Structure 1
Amino acid sequence: MTVDQDSEEQPAGLRSHYEMLQPKLRRFLTARLGSPADAEDLMQDLWIKLGQIPSGPVGNPSAYLHKMTLNLANDYVRSRMRQRGREAAWSDVMIAEPNSLAVDPSPSPEAALAAKSELDILLRAIRTLPERAQQVFRKHRIEGASHAEVAAEFGISKSAVEKNMATAMKHLMRAMQEDDET
């Protein structure tokens, strides 16, 4: 057997050190991750990485492999923590009570359609309000201005604001009741 044939049969460089350290690295990962299956997955990832990195002289291959293993384990743990955070955020929103089924908090298609229809009716009714009542309603209910602010902006009394709001509310309630009857 020539030297060239011998080197082809034996793993070279870091992979040969990997072969020697494999049981120790596997124990380290199992202890760090708490799962032999996860440790085995990361051992395979380490093997693949060793095949992808350019092989050159390494001063302390054992320390190098341990550091690579630690980095893989840390990346894995961070990934799992992010995943658990996403799952926790999802379950906080989706599950109303412990031991209950996950429920989508968005409205059903029927409820969404009914709400859109109701909104369309209200918008049409607002557009048919007398001009001053419409302005006062928009300023107070939509923009959130107080009665005093509305009165100051339009140069009217607070009593006039209240009367315009009452007119607007009666008009809108009547429009909603008429829609319910049809």
Structure 2
Amino acid sequence: MDSTASLLAIYYVQRERLLKYVIRLLGDGEQAQDIIQDMWLKLAQSQKSKIASPSSYLFRMAHNLVIDHLRTHKLSINKLEEFYLLSIQQSTLTSDSLTLDERQQILHKMLDSQPKRLQQIFCLYYKQGYTMVQVADVAGISLGQVHRLLNLFEQNCRCFLSQNNKK
């Protein structure tokens, strides 16, 4: 049996323990399942040589995948929060008066009020953390067009905030 096959065999034996470990780190069973699945995919594609302690290796890999997930999630939250703060600068609404949950509800309402194309660009850039160049590639548009669409989205959201603050 080659090294990758033996590592996968140990993964299957340890899977439940790995899952419980990741759930304990994240506090979310669904995200933990995703991380464990990603782990399996990485293991299946790996070409590892002999590993001295396969069980320790698997738990370290799970730990590192959790850290990667948290970094990505934090980046996404930071970019959304940055967008929210930019959007309210010209609004009479003060960010300090709202909880994070209320801010996220407002962001979702603003997003839902936009045309689908603007929603797509916004989600790629702010939610998924793509660069403007990556957004342009995925959307099949120029970099300048991405910039214009993000500016338009921000203007639309400022109008949305202004209108909803008057109600």
Please give the TM-score of this superposition, normalised by the length of structure 2. Answer: 0.53
Equivalent AA in structure 2 for residue 83 of structure 1: S
Match of 2:37 among 26, 33, 44: 44
Give 1:32's aligned residue. Answer: 25
Computing the radius of gyration from Cα coordinates, the structure with the larger value is 1
Q: 1:52 offset after TM fit, Å?
A: 1.2
**Number of residues of Structure 1 aligned to a counterpart in Structure 2:** 100
In structure 1, runs of 5+ residues without a counterpart are 1-6, 109-182
CA distance in 2, matches of 1:83, 1:12: 35
Please give the TM-score of this superposition, normalised by the length of structure 1. Answer: 0.49
Alignment pair present for 1:12 and 2:21: no
Give 1:81's aligned residue. Answer: 74
**1:136-162: CA deviations, max 9, x gaps?**
xxxxxxxxxxxxxxxxxxxxxxxxxxx
Q: Which has the higher contact order (CA 8 A, sep 6+)?
A: 2
**1:90-141: CA deviations, max 9, x gaps?**
1112244246664844798xxxxxxxxxxxxxxxxxxxxxxxxxxxxxxxxx
Equivalent AA in structure 2 for residue 77 of structure 1: L
CA distance in 1, matches of 2:24, 2:5: 28
Give 1:61's aligned residue. Answer: 54
Q: 1:12 offset after TM fit, Å?
A: 2.6
In structure 2, runs of 5+ residues without a counterpart are 111-152, 160-167
Q: Identity percentage over the alignment?
A: 24
CA distance in 2, matches of 1:86, 1:31: 26
CA distance in 2, matches of 1:80, 1:104: 22
CA distance in 2, matches of 1:73, 1:87: 21
Q: 1:55 offset after TM fit, Å?
A: 3.4
Asked whether the 8 Å contact 1:32–1:73 carries over to 2, the reply is: yes
